[in-house]
Amino acid sequence: MVDLHRGRDPDAPARAGLLTRGYHAILSVLMSSGPLPNDDPAALAVQIREAAEKSAAALRERDVPIGLEPPTVFRP
């Protein structure tokens, strides 16, 4: 028996499962309104730019051999 059937009779019609679990009920579980915090965009932009510069520096300080290629998915 596969576990996907847990909680319902595996021989019961699929539609019955849908009716009891209902699409609308699912949405009410998942969608919720919460606090919408408001961060200062200017301060955030500075913070993010600084983090990006640090990140770029960390990448650049790592030497790579001249023959090293990036992975590619290009298939002509």
Binding site for another protein (CB under 8 A): 2-7, 13-15, 17-18, 21, 23-27, 29-41, 44-45, 48-49, 52, 54-56, 58-60, 62, 64, 68-71, 73, 75
Q: How far is the CB of 8 from another protein (least distance, A)?
A: 8
Alpha-carbon distance of 52 to 58, in angstroms, equals 10
Q: How far is the CB of 35 from another protein (least distance, A)?
A: 5
Instruction: Look up tokens 């009920």; give the residue.
Output: 25
Alpha-carbon distance of 44 to 48, in angstroms, equals 6
Q: How far is the CB of 1 from another protein (least distance, A)?
A: 9
